[in-house]
Structure 1
Amino acid sequence: MTSLSTRAVTTDPTSGRQRPPRTFLRLLVMLLIVALLAAALIGFHVFKGNVLKKVTAGIQSQQATVSTTSAIAQAWQPILTAVGSLRASKGTDLSMETGGVIDEIHFDSGRDVAAGTVLLRLRPNDDLAKLEQLKSNADLDEITYKRDLQQLAVQGVAQSTVDTDAGNLRGARAQVTAQQALMREKTLIAPFAGRLGVRQVDVGQYLPAGTIVVTLQALDPMFLDFYVPQQAVGQLSVGQAVSLSVDAYPDKTFIGKVTSMNSKVDASSRMLQIRASFENRDGLLLPGMFATASVASGAPRSLVTIPQTAVAYNPYGSLVYVIQSGRDAQGKRQASVRQQVVTTGETRGDQVSIMKGLNPGDEVVTAGQLKLHNGAFVQIDNSVKLPDDAAPVPQDH
C-alpha cells in the first residue's frame, strides 16, 4: 500500500509540497482547449447570424421598380387557327405524250401565257409525208366507193363490192385521223392560262415521253387547303371569311373565304379538310407556300385581358403579380405585390385572355417580375409603355 501511494503523488524537493500527477494536468489543459474552441465556434455562428440578418434586412428594404397595367374586359372574338399549304386553282407539270427531238421552243421561263399557246414542238421527221400518203389512199378509196355506188344503181356490181369499198374508205380515213393525232402529240400547248415556271429542256435535246418540260400554274385565285378538328366542324360554313398570313410577307394579311369542305372526316386523324380561296392578282402567293389561316368562329364574348408579358408561365401553373396598396408604419402610401394563380385562354397579338383568377381593374405587374416575391414592396414606374395591341404591326427600322 505504501509503495502504490508514493507512485501516484510526487513531492516538490524544494518546498516539500505534493504536486498533482502529470496525467491530471494534461486532462485539465485539454478540457480548457476544448472549452475555448466551443466558445469560438459559438461566437462565429452568432456573428454569421447577425451578418445574414443585416444582409437580408438590406435586401428586403430595397424596393424593386416595376411597370404595371390594369386588366380590362373587352370583346374577344374566338379565332380558329390552322396551318396548310397553298395550291394553284389550276396547276400541272407539262410533258410530251410521245418522245422525240426538240425542234422549237416558243416560251420563256416565268412568263404568263394564254390558253392554247404553242410552247414546244418536236422534230416532225416524215410525219407530214405519211399524212399525205394516207390522205391519197383515202381519196382513192372514196373515188372507188362512189364509182361502185353508181354501178350498183344499174346492177353493174354486187352489193358486197360496195360494202367492201365503204369499209376500205372508213379505214383509210381512220388512218388519216390517227396520223394527225400523232402529229398533234409532238406539239405542246398550254391547256389553260397561267404562269410558266423554269424551263427544264433545250432545243436539240432528245425528250423521252413523260419528261417534265415546264410547270404551269394559274395563280389567281389561289387555294389554301387546311385541316380542322371535328369539334370545330359546326363553327365553319361555306362562304365564311378567312384571313391568311405567310412568312414571306409578315406585315400583310390576305382575306379570302371558305369555298368547300370535304364530305368526310379523316378516320385516322379525325380532321376535316377545308379549302379556302384567295384573290392573287399581284401574284404574291405561290403554290406550295406554308401558310397560317385564321377563321372567326362563334359570337364575340367579353373576357378579361392583360399583356402577355404580365404572365409568368411555370410547370405548376401560370401566375401574375397583383399590386396591393397600403401604408407603412409612418402612414405613407406604399405598394406591394401578391402572387395570383390564373387560368389563361387564347392569345391575340400582345394580349392574352384570362379565364380565371383576375377581375377587370386589377393592377398587374408587366415588367420586373424576376425581382419579386410574394409580399415584396415595389416602386411603380410606367414611364415606358409596354406593347398591349391585339393586332401588332412590325415597325420598320
Structure 2
Amino acid sequence: MLRRLLLVLIVVAIVVGGLGFLKYRQIQGEIAMFSQPQPPATVADTRVKAMTWQPELHAVGSLQAVQGVMVSNQVPGQVQQILFESGDMVEKNQALVQLDTEVDEADLAGLEAARSLAETQLGRNRRLLADRAVSQGDFDEASSRLQQTEAEVAAKRAVIEKKTIRAPFAGQLGIRQVDLGQYLAAGTSIVALEALDPVYVDYALPERELAQIAVGQTVEARVAAYPDASFPGTIQAISPAVDQATRNVRVRALLKNPDHRLRPGMFAKVATLLPEQDQVLTLPREAITFNTYGDSVFMILDGEGEQAGKLVVQRRQIQTGAVRDQRVAVLSGLEEGDRVVSAGQVKLRNGAEVRITEDEPAGSGDAAQ
C-alpha cells in the first residue's frame, strides 16, 4: 500500500514538473518576443499649412418674401370666372378672379341716364339764367344734381372695377382657396401671392458683433433643400435697437433668387463675411484628436540616440479654432510646415516609430483655400 502511494506521488510530481517546465518556456518565449523591437506603425501624414481664410459671423434665420400677401376681394360678390391656376406666375395687375357684375352694370346704366338728364337740365337752366328766366338757386341746384349723379356713376364704376380681382404685384401664386360660383364676402382669402426674386433673410447677431456689420456687407445663406449651394446677398437693414430679452440685434439681408429655389419660410444658415484674414494655420480635421481634456496631434519627428535615422511620433497639445471645409484652424501649439499624423493615431504612443504610407487621406489637400 505504501509503495502504491509513493508511486502515485512520483507520477503526480513528474506531471506537475512537466507542466511547470512548459509554462516556464512559454513565459520565456513571450518575454523574448516583447523584448524584441516592435515594427514601425504605418501612418499617413500631412503638414500644417498657412491659408487665407475670410472670417465669418454665423447665425440662423428665416427667408421672407420682399412682397407677400393673401389676395382678397374688397367688395362682396359671386365668383363668375377664375382666371388662374394654383402655382401660376403672374404679372402686376393681371386679372385673377371675376365676380358677377350683372346687377351693378344695370345700376350703372340707370345712373348714367340720370346723369344725362342732369346734364340736359343744367344746360337748359344755364340758357334760362342768361335770360333771367330762372333764379340762381335753381341753377345751383341743377349743377349740384349733375355733380351728384357723376359721383354716383364713378362710385358704381369703381365697384364694378373692384369685382375684377387683380394681382397687386408680379410673383407666384399659391393654392387656390375659392371655387366657381362661390359667394365671397368682403375680405375673403382667394390665393396667396409671393414675390420670389429677390427674397429677404432675417437673422440675429449678438450685440458684441454690432461694430463688425454694416449695410451693404456681403452675406452667404445655405438651406437644407440645397446643401451644396450657397446664395450670396447683401445686408439691407440693421435694427436700430438691441432686443433687451436676448441682447441680439436683428439683421435683414437681400438675396437674389432668379431660379426661385429659395422660398419664404425656409430655415437658413447665414454667414456674414468679414474682411479677409491672412495666414491662418490649418490642419485636416482627421489629423486632430478631440476630447474633453484638450485637442492634440501626433507630431512626426526625426529620432535621436538609438532611434537616429528613424521617424518617431510625439503627442502635442494644440488649441483649435473655426472649422471650414473639413479643415480646422490651429491657434497655438504648432507652426507652419510641422508634420503630423493624419491617419492611424489609435495605435500610436509617445516615442513610437512610424513608417509613412504614400497615400495621403482625403481632406488634407488645399481644397479649402
TM bin, normalised by shorter chain, reads 0.7 to 0.9
Alignment check: 8 A CA contact 1:349 1:390 kept? no
The one-letter code sitting in structure 2 at the alignment partner of 1:320 is V
Match of 1:197 among 169, 174, 185: 174
What is the aligned partner in structure 1 of residue 184 from structure 2?
A: 207
1:302 aligns with 2:302: no
2:239 matches 1:262: yes
Report the counterpart of residue 8 of structure 2 in structure 1. none
The corresponding residue for 2:344 is: 368
Higher relative contact order (CA 8 A, sep 6+): 2
Q: Describe how 1:174-323 pairs up with structure 2 within 5 A.
A: 174-323=151-300
Gaps of at least 5 residues in structure 1 are: 1-42
Question: What amino acid is aligned across from residue 271 of structure 1 in structure 2?
Answer: N
In 2, distance between residues paired with 1:78 and 1:139?
Answer: 75
State how many pairs are aligned.
350
Instruction: Please tell me whether residue 78 in structure 1 is matched to residue 78 in structure 2.
Output: no
Residues 65-118 of structure 1 show CA distances to partners (whole Å, capped at 9, x for unaligned) of 322211122222212222222233322221212333211011223232221211
In 2, distance between residues paired with 1:58 and 1:155?
A: 139
- Over the residues paired in the alignment, what is the CA RMSD in angstroms? 3.4
| Equivalent position of 2:14 in the other structure | none
Distance 1:206-1:371 versus aligned 2 partners, 3 A rule: farther
Contact 1:305 1:352 in 2 (8 A): yes
Cα contact 2:218–2:233 (8 A) shared by 1: yes
- Structure 2 counterparts to residues 1-397 of structure 1, below 5 A: 57=34, 61=38, 63-327=40-304, 329=306, 333-388=309-364
Aligned to 2:11: none
* CA displacement at 1:305 relative to structure 2: 0.8
User: What amino acid is aligned across from residue 68 of structure 1 in structure 2?
Assistant: D
Q: 2:47, 2:340 within 8 Å by CA — same for their partners in 1?
A: yes
Distance (Å, rounded) in 2 between the aligned partners of 1:293 and 1:150: 76
Offset of residue 149 of structure 1: 3.7
Q: Distance in 1 between matches of 2:150 and 2:203?
A: 51
Question: In the alignment, residue 313 of structure 2 is paired with which amino acid?
Answer: V
**Residue 324 of structure 2 contacts residue 368 of structure 2 at CA under 8 Å; is this kept in 1?**
no
Residue-by-residue CA offset, 1:40-89 (whole Å, 9 max, x unaligned): xxx9xx99xx79x9599489946543222111222222122222222333
Task: Give the superposition deviation at 1:353.
Answer: 0.6
Give the structure-1-normalised TM-score.
0.76
- C-alpha contact (below 8 Å) 2:45/2:339 kept by paired residues: yes
Aligned to 1:9: none
Q: Which amino acid aligns with 2:200?
A: F
In our comparison, the structure showing a higher alpha carbon Rg is: 1
Greater alpha carbon shift after TM alignment, 283-292 vs 124-133: 283-292
TM-fit CA distance, 1:362: 1.8
How high is the sequence identity, in percent, across the aligned residues?
Answer: 37
Separation of aligned partners in 2, 1:204 and 1:215: 20
Distance 1:105 1:55, change over 3 A: farther
SS at the partner of 2:260? coil
